[in-house]
């Protein structure tokens, strides 16, 4: 159903609901804020980005005790590296990730990245 008044008449309390796009909601919020505040020069209301920007979407992991085959998923241990060149150590955190590219040998480091869909994928591996 669109957002116009020509949606077939009002149905007070009925099961038909008007759906607004994000830009429409922002436009309406900006208009209400401007009118209620009385200041016509105020900036409009903005919404936070749905994905948090803190932290890196890339993690250093270790492949596990057996070869990680292409096309499979597995739970991997997240490792952290200290200063450049220092020894890496396990964080005790795990991630479920999918390997779409190539077999990763046992107990090798790999990098995984979080896709916009929320899933983790191998992006590079130690050979």
Strands 120-125 and 109-114: antiparallel
Q: Which domains does the chain have, with CATH numbers?
A: 1-50 (no CATH), 58-125 (2.40.50)
The gap between the terminal CA atoms of the chain, to the nearest Å, is 54
Cβ atoms of 124 and 94 closer than 8 Å: no
Q: Going residue by residue through the chain, which has 127 residues, state the pLDDT in tens, using 9 for 90 and above.
A: 444 445 455 555 566 777 888 888 888 888 887 777 776 666 666 666 555 545 678 988 998 889 999 999 999 998 886 666 667 788 888 999 999 989 999 999 999 999 988 899 999 998 7
* Separation between Cα atoms, residue 90 and residue 60, nearest integer Å: 10
Q: Which helix (H) or strand (E) holds 112?
A: strand 109-114
Say whether 122 sits in a helix, a strand or coil: strand
């Amino acid at each position: 159903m669109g957002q116009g008044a020509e949606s077939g008449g009002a149905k007070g309390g009925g099961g038909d609901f008007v759906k607004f796009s994000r830009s429409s909601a922002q436009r309406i919020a900006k208009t209400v804020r401007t009118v209620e505040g009385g200041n016509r020069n105020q900036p409009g209301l903005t919404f936070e980005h749905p994905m948090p920007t803190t932290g890196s979407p890339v993690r250093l992991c270790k492949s596990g005790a057996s070869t990680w085959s292409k096309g499979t998923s597995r739970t991997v241990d997240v490792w952290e590296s200290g200063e450049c060149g220092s020894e890496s150590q396990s964080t005790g955190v795990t991630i479920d990730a999918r390997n779409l590219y190539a077999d990763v040998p046992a107990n090798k480091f790999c990098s995984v990245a979080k896709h916009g869909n929320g899933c983790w994928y191998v992006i590079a591996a130690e050979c």
